[in-house]
Amino acid sequence: MDTRSDDVNRPGVTPYFEPREFPPPSATVMPVFGAHSRRGRFHAVNEDHYLIITVGRNQETVLTSLPETVIGTRFDERGFAMILADGLGNFGAGEAASRIALVTLLHLILNFCKWNLRVDDQIAQEIMERAERFYRHVDSAVVHEGTARGLKQPQTTLTSVFGAGRDLFFAHVGHSRAYLFRDGSLLRLTRDHTVAAQGRRPPLAPLVDVNTTARDLRHILTETIGMGGSMGPAIDLERFQLADGDRILMCTNGVTDMVDESVIVSVLESGADLSDQCRRLADLAMEAGGDDDTTALAAEFRVSA
């Protein structure tokens, strides 16, 4: 039971004069980001879209008669989100779907997100429930906007990694991927929502062919944003803890179809700037004969305390 409110009302107890936790947990983790996106050789437009944002709040003492040891001079908390969408559909429907998904999600974050920057188990559960609601709303928005604009089956993958401090979350639909790179090992965080990844089991949702002619079962999606139906897509949601030096890599299948994970590791170990690493992954995908749009996002986290 939380007894903090009892302390406020207990005679002789004044918790506000006790040294406060500083810096706050979210201020101890500093992320650095990189990104690169490239249109496929046979695509009229790049159907991938991405978004990296930081959110925060701060208090800065402008003038005071109190000593700095009592009130402090500045207070900062921050969080971030990395979002990646790979549009599916012909005649511009894919680009529209991924764009609608990101714009809608950003609107939801800015207007309806609580921006929880101090995460405990209860807050973590609230964050994950809110992320699922946001994804459901985005799915409905893509379906509605597609119908209103006369688009033919606009659909998209949608993968988000977000958090504050050491707490990191991801929400995922489709076959774009998020990886954790830790101590030289590449760990896949997301699972592909494809027929191949399901072990050839009959899917419960309508199948979506990523290409005009599917090359194999890795390119037939079972879950997408915009798929419609009464249930909507299955959404994968998870939480984990960051360690100092961890890196997150997010890629569309234009990268992961053509670049082996062992090669991805060598790029991540190269020591190059994060955006240069993302650009190198796109180069390798093209050199391997890939013709799909390629997008890679990267983040590195330094934990100071």
> If you average pLDDT over residues 165-184, what whole number do you get?
96
Would you tell me how many other CB atoms lie within 10 Å of the CB of residue 205? 17
Closest C-alpha to 172, from 194, 153, 199: 194
String of b and e for 289-304 (b: at least 16 CB within 10 Å)?
ebebbbbbbbbbbeee
The answer to whether 154 touches 93, Cβ cutoff 8 Å, is yes
Does residue 289 carry a pLDDT above 50? yes
Q: Looking at residue 68, what is its pLDDT?
A: 79
In the block, tokens 């180069």 appear at 283
Whole-number Å distance between alpha carbons of 19 and 293: 52
Q: Domain 27-53+81-303 has what CATH class?
A: alpha beta
Closest C-alpha to 186, from 285, 256, 279: 256
Does residue 184 carry a pLDDT above 70? yes
At residue 265 the predicted structure's pLDDT band, cuts being 50, 70 and 90, is very high
Closest C-alpha to 30, from 256, 245, 239, 284: 245
Mind listing the pLDDT tens digit for each residue in 193-233? 988 766 544 444 444 444 443 445 556 888 999 988 778 89
Domain limits of the chain? 27-53+81-303
Does residue 38 carry a pLDDT above 80? yes
Q: Looking at residue 14, what is its pLDDT?
A: 54
- Which range has the top average pLDDT, 97-101, 146-150, 206-210? 97-101
Report the DSSP beta bridge partners of residue 80.
54, 163
Phi/psi of residue 109, nearest 5 degrees: -60, -45
Sheet of 294-303, strand order: 29-38, 294-303, 247-251, 177-182, 185-188
Cα dihedral 204, 205, 209, 215 in deg (nearest 10): -20
In the block, tokens 């402008």 appear at 62
Q: Looking at residue 189, what is its pLDDT?
A: 95
Percent of the chain whose pLDDT exceeds 90: 64
